[in-house]
Structure 1
Amino acid sequence: MPRWVFPLLIIATLIVVFETYAFQAIKTVTKNKIIRYGWLLFGLLAYINFFYVIFSSDRSSGQTRQFQYAFALLLVALLPKLIILIVMLGEDVVRWVKKGISYFSQEDTKALDGRRKFISQLALGLAAIPLASLLYGIFRGKFNYKVIKYQLAFKDLPEAFDGFTISHITDIHSGSFDNKEKIQYGVDLINEQKSDVILFTGDIVNNFAKEMDEWIPVFSQLEAPMGKYSILGNHDYGDYSKWNSKEEKKANFDAIKEIHPKIGFELLLNENRYLEKDGQKIALVGVENWGKGFNQAGDLQRAAAGIKKDDFKVLMSHDPSHWEYKVKEDDFNYQLTLSGHTHGLQFGIEIPGFIKWSPAKYVYKQWAGLYEEFGRYINVNRGFGYHAFPGRVGIWPEITVIELKKA
């Protein structure tokens, strides 16, 4: 038996269970056959479309918009039914337990039948929440840019840099964009912050350099008086596509590196630069991608060559796992690190002061926002663009503005 058969059987079984419970809920609350079978047909079309895209796509094309929207349609069809399954399955467990008890006690269980309709209505009502959230995230949420501002104080910050501002952006993922007007709005919003410097922490494309071609005129409008600097992210290396040769992959990688000067950014490849103001300076350190368990091109020692331990340092490193495993306890003392990569999984719940949750927290210890340990900080930007799922639910695209203060 081919290895793919068993996982496919499991997936098919889960789909049947999902659809059965969802159909039972619909059937309980309406007798309209158009609604009943329209519900089934929508799910069936979503599954067929997704698997068609998966099995018909050429892997050398990387992740396409066709895949993104097939995945979005699948989530719209599946996630509400997961809520229905949880509620209805819970009701079934209660029903089975009570019927088991009544078998021995001779109690009447007719009341359970009357409650079934209420539970179905409750399940459908709860399922409407993720459905509405997904639809909002796909059509509006992915462009719901938020400017998040922090003020950080450091004793060793040179006085000339008291009040110095950094606009931090990351994860553009230009291959996913589909609305030039909205992207232009996001770029204008970055410029409105009037920061001293703009720092971009990687993933300018999904797979191919050509994805950025139509967006170069837009992103070249970014302005900052003390410069614009950038690094590479994991997607910039072309590791998620199938290439005909090593030479073809290298040519794409070289083309991606050439994008940065075209939009006015100085790309730091395990390098550093000093930013000078009124005779004082801070060090800007840029490493290539370093991720736990994959693509560890980042060389921190090489990137910091020539700078001093006592210098105030801003480190740009795409993957926050680099800070967790290599940077935060480094004796060289990197006062501030800027990262991205996680996107906050583009799905979660954030209510400032009350709750901050995303499945991303189970993968990354630092997954969104500002973190501090040992007097050293990391900001994990939630990303400017989007990837895989063409939307954002509760985790909005972000422009971070950090003001440095002399403590």
Structure 2
Amino acid sequence: MLALTFIVLIFGLQYFHRQLLHRLLPKGYDRWVTPVLILIHVPLALYMGIRLTGNAGWLQWLRPLSRAGLYFQILSAFNLVMWLLSEGLWRLRHLWKPQPGQPPEDPARRTFLRQTTAAGVGLASYGVLAGRREAHGDPDVVHLQLYFPDLPPGMDGLRIAQISDLHAGPLVKAPLVARWRTLVQAERPEMLLLTGDVTDSIPEEAGIVEEAFRNFPAPLGRYAILGNHDYFTDPRPIWKILERTGFQCLENRWAYVYRNGSRMALVGLQDPMARHGHFRDIRYGPGPSPKIATEGLPADTWRLCLSHRPSDWPLARQTGARLTLSGHTHGGQINLIPFVNSALLLGPYAQGIYRKDGDVLYVNRGLGVVALPVRIGAPPEITLITLRRR
């Protein structure tokens, strides 16, 4: 059903874009619109078909071509918005009304449409350049002090680094991930937590993270969970790579952390994608299960939960976690409307701190990008959390 909806949306978008291009292009050139649109969309259709089968063998060469098709969809949507705006401006400016015997297309109107479309493309290009600088610049290093009256005494002052949504792959290369490691290490955290989406979509991409974070100095350990992108294909190679890098993977599991004579438990919830990897009925696990994740854990243990999706906070609270750390939203990644976070389309928790009955959720904006190599109004983030006992 999702694939069918996607196909209908693409065809509808391109039908209207084809109409626009016929109006914009000079006579004679417009006859190439349909075949060019078909050529642009063939790689995207093949990529989506192969992705739905779970096979990745051809994806290496198809991915850049399909990404070009995706970018074209975004350009199509933007052009159509500019078309609607220009039509509205023209009507306001000229109070245009069709008259009997009037030519079907006023040349001045067509020129105005071309000018507004060109201005819109220029504005979009500027936005892409600015967004690319934001995406690939140094991330914000957010320092938080979180207070809990029941925090074990020995955990008072514990410094935790959280990173999330690296999306290592075609849009996030090794030098950028290495830079992130340098910035995290400079904060000297006692513990490093990775809250999912290690890769963009292929397990081999986790090698970029292995190269960057090998031998990371965290005295109390390195822990990770996987995100939805890590389940696009078989996630087991990613688990192995992370374990080899020194991370302990907490997929519906828990682990003790000891400090100054006290202990706390880290609990990890598995992502719901584990129930249907490859976008099909292939299971790599039960998905988020508070019961499995806390099995055998003493009831009086203070708990911190790693849950990739902040929308799963109710499940994280069922584990007894006083603090839940999530990612997934990218803080919206591209926020075009002032004071409106596009991540709210994913659920009520977009970024930052949320509190309920003394429990705390923190949503990290993540470091990498998805689909587009830009961020607008959502800079990448490294979070340094200091736990405090009141």
The TM-score by the shorter chain falls in which range?
0.7 to 0.9
Q: Does 1:315 align with 2:305?
A: yes
- Shift in Å, 1:68: 6.3
Could you tell me which of 258, 261, 264 is aligned with 1:279? 261
Letter in structure 2 aligned against 1:277? R
> What is the SS of the residue equivalent to 2:235?
helix
Deviation per residue, 1:289-331 (Å, 9 max, x gap): 13799675221112122334443211001111211x4334x3x
Partner Cα separation in structure 1 for residue 31 and residue 149 of structure 2 = 63
Could you tell me which of 68, 71, 80 is aligned with 1:70? 68
> Residue 43 of structure 2 contacts residue 66 of structure 2 at CA under 8 Å; is this kept in 1?
no
**Equivalent residue, structure 1, for 2:281:** none
Partner Cα separation in structure 2 for residue 42 and residue 405 of structure 1 = 65
Q: 1:313 to 1:217 in 2, by over 3 A?
A: same
> Residue 91 of structure 1 contacts residue 119 of structure 1 at CA under 8 Å; is this kept in 2?
no
> What is the SS of the residue equivalent to 2:169?
helix
Could you tell me which of 54, 61, 75 is aligned with 2:56? 61
> Residue 203 of structure 2 contacts residue 235 of structure 2 at CA under 8 Å; is this kept in 1?
yes
**Equivalent residue, structure 2, for 1:344:** 331
- Shift in Å, 1:212: 2.3
TM-score normalised by the chain length of structure 2: 0.78
Across the aligned residues of Structure 1 and Structure 2, the Cα RMSD in angstroms comes to 3.9
Stretches of structure 1 that go unaligned for 5 or more consecutive residues are 25-32, 104-112, 242-251
Deviation per residue, 1:46-96 (Å, 9 max, x gap): 955641321344432286541564156426733542442242132245368
> Residue 83 of structure 1 contacts residue 127 of structure 1 at CA under 8 Å; is this kept in 2?
no
> Residue 269 of structure 1 contacts residue 286 of structure 1 at CA under 8 Å; is this kept in 2?
yes
**Equivalent residue, structure 1, for 2:240:** 258
Q: 1:208 to 1:47 in 2, by over 3 A?
A: same
Q: Does 1:373 align with 2:356?
A: yes
Q: Does 1:398 align with 2:381?
A: yes
Partner Cα separation in structure 1 for residue 67 and residue 13 of structure 2 = 20
Q: Is 226-235 or 76-85 further displaced after alignment? A: 76-85
**Equivalent residue, structure 1, for 2:156:** 162
Stretches of structure 2 that go unaligned for 5 or more consecutive residues are 100-106, 278-285
> Residue 274 of structure 2 contacts residue 287 of structure 2 at CA under 8 Å; is this kept in 1?
no
Could you tell me which of 209, 212, 222 is aligned with 1:218? 212
Partner Cα separation in structure 2 for residue 139 and residue 201 of structure 1 = 24
> What is the SS of the residue equivalent to 1:260?
helix
Q: What percent identity do the matched residue pairs reach?
A: 26
Partner Cα separation in structure 2 for residue 37 and residue 228 of structure 1 = 62
Partner Cα separation in structure 2 for residue 347 and residue 7 of structure 1 = 21
Q: 1:119 to 1:50 in 2, by over 3 A?
A: closer
> What is the SS of the residue equivalent to 2:385?
strand
> Residue 68 of structure 1 contacts residue 388 of structure 1 at CA under 8 Å; is this kept in 2?
no
Counting only pairs closer than 5 Å after superposition, residues 6-405 of structure 1 correspond to structure 2 as 10-19=12-21, 23=24, 47=37, 50-57=40-47, 58-59=50-51, 60-61=55-56, 65-67=63-65, 69-71=67-69, 73-74=71-72, 77-78=75-76, 80-94=78-92, 98-99=95-96, 125=119, 128-138=122-132, 141-177=135-171, 179-237=173-231, 240-241=232-233, 252-290=234-272, 296-323=286-313, 325-328=314-317, 330=318, 333-348=320-335, 356-405=339-388
Partner Cα separation in structure 1 for residue 301 and residue 17 of structure 2 = 57
TM-score normalised by the chain length of structure 1: 0.75
- Shift in Å, 1:8: 6.3
Q: Is 387-396 or 259-268 further displaced after alignment? A: 387-396
Give the aligned length: 364
> Residue 53 of structure 1 contacts residue 66 of structure 1 at CA under 8 Å; is this kept in 2?
no
Letter in structure 2 aligned against 1:381? N
> Residue 87 of structure 2 contacts residue 113 of structure 2 at CA under 8 Å; is this kept in 1?
no
- Shift in Å, 1:6: 6.8
- Shift in Å, 1:261: 1.5
Q: 1:84 to 1:224 in 2, by over 3 A?
A: same
> What is the SS of the residue equivalent to 1:360?
helix
> Residue 349 of structure 1 contacts residue 356 of structure 1 at CA under 8 Å; is this kept in 2?
no
Partner Cα separation in structure 2 for residue 186 and residue 56 of structure 1 = 34
Partner Cα separation in structure 2 for residue 255 and residue 293 of structure 1 = 17
Partner Cα separation in structure 1 for residue 267 and residue 10 of structure 2 = 47
